[in-house]
Amino acid sequence: MRARTYRKLLDSGMRLIQQRGLVSVAEIAADAGVSRATAYRYFPSRSRLVSAVVEESLGPVRRFDSARTDGRARLRDLFDQTFPRFKVFEAQLRAAMQLALEHWAMERAAVLAEEPFRRGHRTQILHRAAHPLRQQLGAARYARLLCALSLVYGIEPYVVLKDMWGLRDREVEAVSRWVLDALIDAALREVRGARSGQNATTRTGPARAGSNSARPNRRRNPSHLPF
pLDDT tens per residue across all 227 residues of the chain: 899 999 999 999 999 999 999 999 999 999 999 999 999 999 999 999 999 999 999 988 888 888 999 999 999 999 999 999 999 999 999 999 999 999 999 999 999 999 999 998 899 999 999 999 999 999 999 999 999 999 999 999 999 999 999 999 999 999 999 999 999 999 999 999 988 877 766 666 654 444 444 344 444 443 333 33
**Cβ–Cβ under 8 Å, residues 126 and 150:** yes
List the one residue out of 32, 211, 51, 197 whose CA is nearest residue 115: 51
In degrees, rounded to 5, the angle at the alpha carbon of residue 50 between the alpha carbons of residues 48 and 52 is 70
pTM: 0.83
CA distance 182 to 121: 23
